[in-house]
C-alpha cells in the first residue's frame, strides 16, 4: 500500500481526534453553562492558566464578583464564590465537601501527605487531631519565646547593617523588606519546627536558597495546580519521583528535606519524654516518622506581611503607661485596638495567599445562589473580591484604612474580623499555623516600630508585586532610622 492510500486513513484518524476533543470541550462547557463567568473559562483552561501565570491573579479575580455576581465560573469544572456564608458552609466541620484535587499540586512526597494535602475529611480530621497540639502552642510552651529570639535577631541585623544614623556621614545601606522579612519567617519556622534556626538573619541571606526557589517556581506551580490534566501528570507518584525535590539536592526544597528528615530521625530515635517542641508533640500524638517529616517540611511554605502609621501614638501611650513588656507578649498586643486594626486591615487589603483552595461538591450536587452545581464541581473562595467587598467593609474598601474597624459597632467589627480571618480558611480545613502567624505579625509589627522609623527610599520607584496564588514582592526599599519616640 502506497503513501497515497494511507492519506485517507490519516485524515480519518485526525478527524476522529478533532471530533473527540470538540465533543469533550462541548460537554465540559454544557455541564456548568448556567454559571456566569469569562467566556474562555467556560470551555478551556487557558483563562485559569493565564490568570495564574500572569502575576496579576489578584487583580483579575478581584473584579469578578462585581462583573458576574457571587458565583463565577473559572474553568470547565471550576467555580469560585466571594460569599463568606457559602465559604463557611462548605468548609465547616460537618460539611460533606472534601478538598478538591487542587491540593495535590502542593504534594512533594510521592507516598505521604502533609495535613494540607489530605483531601479526604475523615483521614484529614484524624491527622489534624494529632498535629494540632503542636501547632496551637498547647504543647509547645517555647513557641512565643522562639519568635522573640528571631525578632531580636532581625532587630540586630537592621542595627548592624542597615541603620542610618541621622546627621551621620556613614554610607546609607537601604533595607529591602521584601528580602529581610522572608529571612525572619524562615528562621522562625526552622526554630519552631526543627529546634534550631537556619541562621538566615545572622548571614543576611536565604542560606539554602529556599525562598528564592519557591519564588522562581511559583508561576509554574500555580498553573500546574490549577489545570487538572497537568496536575495529574506532574503530581502523580511517578511525576513527584522524577521531578520532585530529593534529599540529595544541594539547594532549595531538596536540601530542606534532608535537614528536616535528619532532625525528625533524631527525635524518633531518642526518648519522647521531655520533647516540648512541635516535632516532639507530633510524635507523642502518633504521627509516624515519615508523616512528621512531611508535615515539618510543609511549614516552610508559610509567609508574613508588614504595615505602618498612627499606631506609633498608641504604642507610645501603652509603653509609657507601663503595660507592655519588652518584647511585647502576644496577649498584650491583642489589647491594643489600633495595632489589631492595622493587622486586620493589612490582611484584608493584602491577603497573602489567594490560591484556589477549592473543595469538591459532593456526589449529590448542591445549590448555591440559585445555581445547581453537579457533584464533582470544584468551588473555592474568591478572597480578592471578598476582601474588597463594599457591602462588607464599606464604600472605601479599596483603600487601606484601619479606622474602619474602630468606627464600627462591636457586632459589625466582630463580623468584619471574622470575614477577614477567612484568609486562613475555615472550619475543619482552617490553617493550623494561624495562631503562630498572629503571634509573628503582632510582635514583628510592634517591635520593629518600637525600635525604628522606616521611610520608603524612593516613592517614585514603587514596589514590584506579582500575584501567583501568593504574593511575591520585590524591592521594598526603605531607610531605617532609630525611632526617636522610644530611644
What is the contact surface with ligand HEM in residues (CB under 6 A)? Answer: 91, 115-116, 128, 189, 298-299, 302-304, 352-353, 357, 423-425, 429, 431-433, 436-437
Minimum Å gap between C-beta 72 and ligand HEM is: 18
Which own/partner pairs from 125-128 qualify as long-range (CB within 8 Å, at least 24 positions apart)?
125/93, 125/428, 127/287, 127/291, 128/428, 128/432
> Given the complex with ligand HEM, which of 384 and 425 has the nearer CB atom?
425
Helix (H) or strand (E) run with residue 191 in it: helix 177-194
Rounded to 5, what percent of the chain is helix, strand, coil? 55, 10, 35
Give me the long-range contacts of 358-363 (CB less than 8 A, separation at least 24): 358/78, 358/80, 358/99, 358/100, 358/102, 359/90, 359/91, 359/95, 359/97, 359/98, 359/99, 359/100, 359/429, 360/97, 360/98, 360/99, 360/100, 360/101, 360/119, 361/97, 362/96, 362/97, 362/98
What cell was used for 377? 464541581
Nearest distance, CB of residue 294 and ligand HEM, angstroms = 11
CB of residue 8 to ligand HEM, shortest distance in Å: 53
Nearer to ligand HEM, 71 or 303 (CB): 303
Report whether 225 contacts 231 (CB < 8 A): yes
Cβ proximity to ligand HEM: between 76 and 134 the closer is: 134
Instruction: Tell me how far apart the alpha carbons of residues 346 and 303 are, in angstroms, rounded to a whole number.
Output: 14
Residue 317 beta carbon to ligand HEM: minimum distance, rounded to whole angstroms? 27
Nearest CB to ligand HEM, comparing residues 163 and 436: 436
Widest Cα–Cα separation across the chain = 97
Query: Rounded to the nearest whole angstrom, what is the least distance from the CB of residue 295 to ligand HEM in the complex?
Result: 7
Q: DSSP letters along 283-295, please?
A: HHTT--HHHHHHH
CB of 128 to ligand HEM, least distance (A): 5
Compute the least distance from the CB of residue 185 to ligand HEM, in Å.
7
Residue 91 CB, nearest approach to ligand HEM (Å): 6
- Name the minimum Å distance from CB 167 to ligand HEM: 38
43 vs 344, beta carbon nearer ligand HEM: 344
d(CA 188, CA 198): 9
Shortest Cβ 342–ligand HEM spacing (Å): 14
Q: Which is nearer to ligand HEM, 297 or 324 (CB)?
A: 297
| Closer to ligand HEM by Cβ: residue 76 or 98 | 98
Nearer to ligand HEM, 115 or 214 (CB): 115
- Three-state SS at 471: strand
Rounded to the nearest 10 degrees, the angle between the axes of helix 434-451 and helix 311-320 is 80
d(CA 13, CA 15): 5
**Cell digits for 454?**
522606616
Q: Which CB, 70 or 121, lies closer to ligand HEM?
A: 121
212, 206 contact by CB (below 8 A): yes
Cβ proximity to ligand HEM: between 352 and 483 the closer is 352
Report the alpha-carbon distance of residue 430 to residue 6 in Å, rounded: 59
Residue of this chain nearest to ligand HEM (CB atom): 433
Amino acid at each position: 500500500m502506497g503513501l497515497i492510500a494511507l492519506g485517507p486513513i490519516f485524515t480519518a484518524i485526525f478527524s476522529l481526534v478533532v471530533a473527540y476533543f470538540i465533543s469533550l470541550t462541548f460537554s465540559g462547557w454544557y455541564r456548568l453553562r448556567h454559571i456566569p463567568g469569562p467566556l474562555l473559562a467556560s470551555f478551556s483552561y487557558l483563562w485559569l492558566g493565564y490568570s495564574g501565570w500572569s502575576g496579576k491573579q489578584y487583580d483579575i479575580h478581584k473584579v469578578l464578583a462585581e462583573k458576574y455576581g457571587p458565583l463565577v465560573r473559572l474553568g470547565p469544572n471550576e467555580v469560585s464564590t466571594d460569599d463568606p456564608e457559602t465559604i463557611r458552609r462548605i468548609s465547616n466541620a460537618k460539611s460533606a465537601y472534601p478538598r478538591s484535587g487542587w491540593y495535590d499540586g502542593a504534594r512533594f512526597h510521592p507516598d505521604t501527605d502533609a495535613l494540607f494535602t489530605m483531601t479526604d475529611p475523615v483521614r484529614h480530621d484524624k491527622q489534624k487531631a494529632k498535629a494540632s497540639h503542636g501547632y496551637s502552642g498547647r504543647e509547645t510552651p517555647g513557641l512565643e519565646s522562639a519568635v522573640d529570639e528571631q525578632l531580636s535577631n532581625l532587630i540586630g541585623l537592621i542595627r548592624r547593617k542597615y541603620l542610618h544614623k541621622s546627621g551621620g556621614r556613614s554610607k546609607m545601606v537601604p533595607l529591602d523588606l521584601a528580602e529581610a522579612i522572608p529571612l525572619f519567617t524562615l528562621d522562625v519556622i526552622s526554630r519552631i519546627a526543627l529546634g534550631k534556626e537556619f541562621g538566615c538573619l545572622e548571614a543576611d541571606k536565604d542560606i539554602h536558597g529556599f525562598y528564592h526557589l519557591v519564588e522562581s517556581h511559583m508561576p509554574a506551580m500555580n498553573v500546574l495546580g490549577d489545570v487538572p490534566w497537568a496536575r495529574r501528570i506532574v503530581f502523580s507518584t511517578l511525576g513527584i519521583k522524577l521531578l520532585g525535590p530529593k534529599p540529595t539536592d544541594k539547594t532549595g526544597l531538596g536540601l530542606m528535606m534532608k535537614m528536616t528528615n535528619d532532625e525528625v530521625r533524631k527525635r524518633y530515635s531518642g526518648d519522647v519524654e521531655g520533647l516540648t517542641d512541635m516535632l516532639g508533640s507530633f510524635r507523642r500524638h502518633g504521627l509516624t516518622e515519615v508523616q512528621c517529616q512531611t508535615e515539618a517540611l510543609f511549614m516552610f511554605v508559610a509567609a508574613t506581611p508588614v504595615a505602618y502609621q498612627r499606631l506609633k501614638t498608641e504604642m507610645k501611650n501603652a509603653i509609657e503607661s507601663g503595660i507592655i513588656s519588652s518584647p511585647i507578649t502576644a496577649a498584650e498586643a491583642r489589647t491594643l485596638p489600633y495595632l489589631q486594626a492595622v493587622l486586620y486591615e493589612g490582611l484584608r487589603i493584602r491577603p497573602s495567599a489567594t490560591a484556589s483552595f477549592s473543595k469538591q461538591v459532593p456526589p449529590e450536587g448542591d445549590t448555591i445562589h440559585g445555581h445547581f452545581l453537579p457533584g464533582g464541581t470544584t468551588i473555592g473562595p474568591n478572597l480578592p473580591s471578598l476582601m474588597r467587598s463594599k457591602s462588607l467593609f464599606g464604600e472605601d474598601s479599596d483603600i487601606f484604612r484601619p479606622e474602619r474597624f474602630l468606627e464600627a459597632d462591636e457586632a459589625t467589627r466582630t463580623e468584619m474580623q471574622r470575614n477577614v480571618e477567612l484568609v486562613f480558611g475555615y472550619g475543619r480545613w482552617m490553617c493550623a499555623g494561624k495562631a503562630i502567624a498572629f503571634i509573628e505579625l503582632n510582635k514583628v509589627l510592634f517591635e520593629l516600630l518600637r525600635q525604628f522609623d522606616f521611610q520608603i527610599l524612593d516613592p517614585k520607584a514603587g514596589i514590584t508585586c506579582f500575584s501567583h496564588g501568593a504574593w511575591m514582592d520585590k524591592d521594598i526599599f526603605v531607610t531605617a532610622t532609630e525611632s526617636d519616640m522610644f530611644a
